[in-house]
Amino acid sequence: MNNIVIIGSSGHARVVIDIVRREGKRNIVGLLKRFHSVGEQAFGYSILGGEEDLPQLMRLHDLTGVVIAIGDNFVRSQVAARVEELCPTLGFFSAVHPDASIASDVSLGAGTVVMAGAVVNPGCSVGRFCILNTNCSLDHDSILGDFASIAPGATTGGDCRIGAYTAIGIGAVLSHGINVGEHTVIGAGAVVVKSIEAFVVAHGIPATVVGARTPGDKYL
C-alpha cells in the first residue's frame, strides 16, 4: 500500500482523511501543516512538519505521494506549486469517496477531491486540484477548471463552464449552458441564469455581480 501524507489539518482535512480511509488504497503516515509543532496530534495522526520537510520525509517514510486537503482554492494552488518545486517526483493523488457517482468517461485531474454524494455526469472534464463537495452535482458535458470548487449541495445544468480558481457557493444553482469566469465567487444560494465574468463576486436570485476580486482574496 502506498504511503502518503495529507497536507492540511482543518475540518476539510478531516473529511479528506475519511475519504482516503474508505478508499483503502493508501496508507496515511501523517499530516503536514506549517507553523504547527512536530508531533502535535490531529484526527489521530501526527503533524510531521511543513511542506519544506517533504524531501526528508519522502526518504524517511518511503512516500509515494500527497493529498492536499486545503479548502481555499488559491492557497491550495500555492501549496501544490511548493510541493512540485521541492519534490518534482512526488505524486499528487486524488481522493474519491466510494459513494460519489462519477461517469465512466469523466476526466478527473490529479489532486482532486470528490466527496460523498457528489455526482459528475457523462462528458464532464474536472481539472487538477478541484473540490467537489458533499452532494454537489456537475451535469453532463460541463468543465470545471483547475483549482476550482463546488460547495455542498450546489448544482449545475449541463454544458456549463466554470473557470480556474472559481468557487461555487453552498446550494448555488447554475442553469444549463452557463459560463463562469476564473477567480470568481458565486455566493451561497445564488441562482445563476446568465453567464458571469471573471474576477467578480456574484450572489442573489437571479445572481448579479456585487463586486470585483483579485486572485488570493479570501472567501471562506
The confidence score (pLDDT) of residue 40 equals 86
pTM: predicted TM-score of the whole model, two decimal places = 0.95
Cell digits for 38?
512536530
Count CA atoms closer than 13 A to 117's CA, side-chain side.
10
DSSP conformation class of 196: B
The confidence score (pLDDT) of residue 20 equals 98
Dist CA 158 CA 174 (whole Å): 9
Do 88 and 105 sit in the same domain of this protein?
Answer: no
**Domain end residue (candidates: 68, 93, 118):** 93
- Residue 137 sits in a domain whose CATH number is 2.160.10.10
Do 104 and 202 sit in the same domain of this protein?
Answer: yes
Do 176 and 191 sit in the same domain of this protein?
Answer: yes
Considering the domain boundaries, does residue 158 fall inside one?
Answer: yes
The confidence score (pLDDT) of residue 38 equals 86
Domain extent, residue 147, equals 96-208
Do 87 and 31 sit in the same domain of this protein?
Answer: yes
Instruction: Calculate the average pLDDT of the chain.
Output: 96
The confidence score (pLDDT) of residue 34 equals 80
Select from 164, 166, 158 the least CA-distant residue to 207: 166
> In this structure, how many other beta carbons lie within 10 angstroms of the beta carbon of residue 31?
24
Residue reference for cell 486537503: 69
Is the model's pLDDT at 1 over the cut of 90? no
- Number of domains within the chain: 2
pLDDT one-digit tens code per residue, 3-16:
999 999 899 999 99
The confidence score (pLDDT) of residue 42 equals 87
CA-to-CA separations, 188 to 75, 88, 108, 114, 202, in angstroms, rounded: 21, 37, 25, 19, 10
Please name the amino acid found at residue 26: R
Considering the domain boundaries, does residue 102 fall inside one?
Answer: yes
Dist CA 41 CA 180 (whole Å): 40
- Residue 35 sits in a domain whose CATH number is 3.40.50.20
